Amino acid sequence: MASTHAAIRHATRQDVPTILGLIQELADYEKASSSVKATVESLTRTLSHADPSDPSNPDKFSKGYAKTLLVTDPDGTVAGMALYFYNYSTWTGVPGIYLEDLFVKEAYRKKGYGVLLLKQLAKEVLKVDGKRLEWSCLDWNEPSLQFYQSEKIGASKKQEWVGLRVEGDKLKKLAES
Report, as residue numbers or ranges, the catalytic residues: 148
Neighbours of 95 (CB within 10 A): 15
Instruction: Determine the Cα–Cα distance for residues 109 and 8; give it in Å rounded to an integer.
Output: 15
How would you classify the pairing of strands 7-10 and 133-135?
unpaired
| 3-class secondary-structure state, position 7 | strand
Handedness of CA 18, 19, 24, 27 (dihedral sign): positive
What are the φ/ψ torsions at residue 70 (nearest 5 degrees)? -115, 140
Neighbours of 74 (CB within 10 A): 13
Distances in Å between the Cα of 5 and the Cα atoms of 2, 15, 32, 76, 152 are 9, 20, 33, 10, 19
- Residue 84: DSSP 8-state: E
